[in-house]
């Protein structure tokens, strides 16, 4: 049996070209490097936009690295035992985000050892996948928001997503209405409240905004409010999308069994890596709901090329100026290209996501992955 010989990690900050908020000017990347007993190497990462990156790094450095040594280097065989080992510190959140650093590196090593990309190793089912334009833009003026939407139109996106949740519903109505007018009737429009509403406000807001032909409302309530989402789904006609802040296949199952979501959006890093992401995709398929992976198109896009077909076309989120390649964070060329609203894969081995050693003056490191 091929086992894990070592796991090392390095924390660094990646500056954002367009800040997501006044206090979110960079994202934390914990680059990981695994060596197997047969000498094969793999590179992965964990990720946290602003909060918790140091805690993720500490968990990788102090707990996961030690517990992983000697375990099976086959990702699916390793993951469950490691999750059970970490469960005392929490079933999801920091623990699954950290565990993704190991899981992604193991998938990378497995594919690299065969001279394949990860999508080929899993089994690529399509050569391209549609993308949508996205941005963290609630703090933008209306003029800046419309300028961003125009850039997405010019780039060939057939669907876009904007943030909502202004203190005054009327301002949300004005902004969404202006975006719909600019998009015209044929492009898709999604809105994302980022957990800003309670049930009453969500009901009123969606009723006021639904006339703009919305493809979905994302995270209208607190992410873990199962009962609230279930009731909201009963009240409104716009599909509810959520999942970027759910961390296990078990929790996704809870929401789907309750009818609380019609679209799921697992974040591959937050759920613990590729291994649990594939299981969540199975859960979504069992319930007949669409899956659109959250963020990280260089990673999400590769997995989207490998998932089975569903009733709804899969969409990959491309946040403006936030891709690792565009931010200059990668040591190698980006493993994917987004052009004319489609994502395609470039030739590479493994995940093709090795991070440059130093990205900013406030980067910190313990091991050189």
Residues that are catalytic: 163, 294
Q: Which residues contact 132 (CB under 8 A, 6 or more apart)?
A: 157, 158, 159, 160, 161, 188, 190, 315, 316, 317, 318, 341
Where do runs of H (alpha helix) occur along the chain? 53-59, 65-68, 75-86, 94-113, 118-122, 142-154, 169-183, 199-209, 226-235, 249-257, 274-287, 297-304
Asked whether the beta carbons of 367 and 333 are under 8 A apart, the reply is no
Looking at the DSSP bridge assignments, the partners of residue 345 are 336
- What angle is formed at CA 240 by the lines to CA 235 and CA 243, rounded to 5 degrees? 140
Torsion of CA 293, 296, 302, 304, to 10 degrees: 10
Q: Which residues contact 6 (CB under 8 A, 6 or more apart)?
A: 34, 35, 65, 69
Q: Which residues contact 168 (CB under 8 A, 6 or more apart)?
A: none
For residue 88, give the DSSP letter: G
Rounded to a whole number of angstroms, the distance between the first and last alpha carbons of the chain is: 24
The residue to which tokens 């690529």 are assigned = 124
Asked whether the beta carbons of 254 and 283 are under 8 A apart, the reply is no
* SS3 at position 304: helix
Looking at the DSSP bridge assignments, the partners of residue 349 are none
For residue 129, give the DSSP letter: E
Looking at the DSSP bridge assignments, the partners of residue 211 are none
Tokens in use for 108? 């990378």
């Amino acid at each position: 049996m091929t086992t894990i010989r070592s796991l090392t990690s390095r924390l660094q900050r990646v500056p954002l070209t367009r800040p997501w908020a006044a206090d979110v000017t960079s994202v934390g990347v914990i680059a990981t490097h695994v060596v197997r007993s047969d000498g094969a190497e793999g590179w992965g990462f964990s990720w946290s936009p602003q909060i918790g990156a140091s805690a993720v790094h500490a968990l990788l450095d102090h707990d996961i690295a030690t517990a992983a040594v000697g375990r099976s280097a086959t990702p699916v065989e390793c993951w469950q035992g490691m999750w059970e080992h970490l469960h005392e510190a929490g079933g999801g959140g920091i623990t699954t985000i950290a565990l993704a650093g190991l899981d992604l590196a193991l998938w990378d090593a497995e594919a690299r050892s065969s001279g394949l990309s990860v999508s080929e190793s899993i089994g690529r089912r399509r050569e391209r996948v549609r993308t949508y334009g996205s941005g963290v833009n609630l703090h933008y003026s209306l003029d800046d928001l419309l300028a961003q939407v125009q850039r997405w139109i010019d780039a060939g996106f057939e669907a876009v997503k904007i943030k909502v949740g202004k203190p005054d519903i009327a301002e949300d109505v004005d902004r969404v209405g202006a975006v719909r007018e600019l998009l015209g009737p044929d492009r898709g429009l999604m809105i994302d409240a980022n957990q800003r509403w309670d049930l009453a406000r969500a009901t009123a807001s969606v009723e006021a905004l639904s006339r703009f032909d919305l493809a979905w409302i994302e995270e209208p309530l607190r992410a873990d409010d199962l009962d609230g989402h279930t009731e909201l789904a009963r009240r409104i006609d716009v599909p509810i999308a959520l999942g970027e802040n759910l961390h296990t296949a078990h929790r996704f199952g809870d929401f789907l069994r309750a009818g609380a979501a019609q679209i799921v959006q697992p974040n591959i890093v937050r759920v613990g890596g590729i291994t649990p992401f594939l299981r969540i995709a199975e859960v979504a398929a069992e319930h007949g709901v669409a899956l659109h992976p959250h963020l990280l198109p260089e990673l999400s896009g590769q997995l989207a090329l490998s998932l089975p077909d569903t009733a709804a076309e899969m969409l990959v989120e491309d946040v403006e100026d936030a891709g690792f390649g565009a931010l200059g964070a990668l040591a190698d060329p980006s493993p994917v290209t987004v052009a004319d609203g489609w994502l395609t894969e470039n030739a590479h081995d493994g995940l093709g996501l090795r991070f440059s050693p130093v990205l900013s003056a406030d980067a910190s490191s313990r091991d050189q992955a």
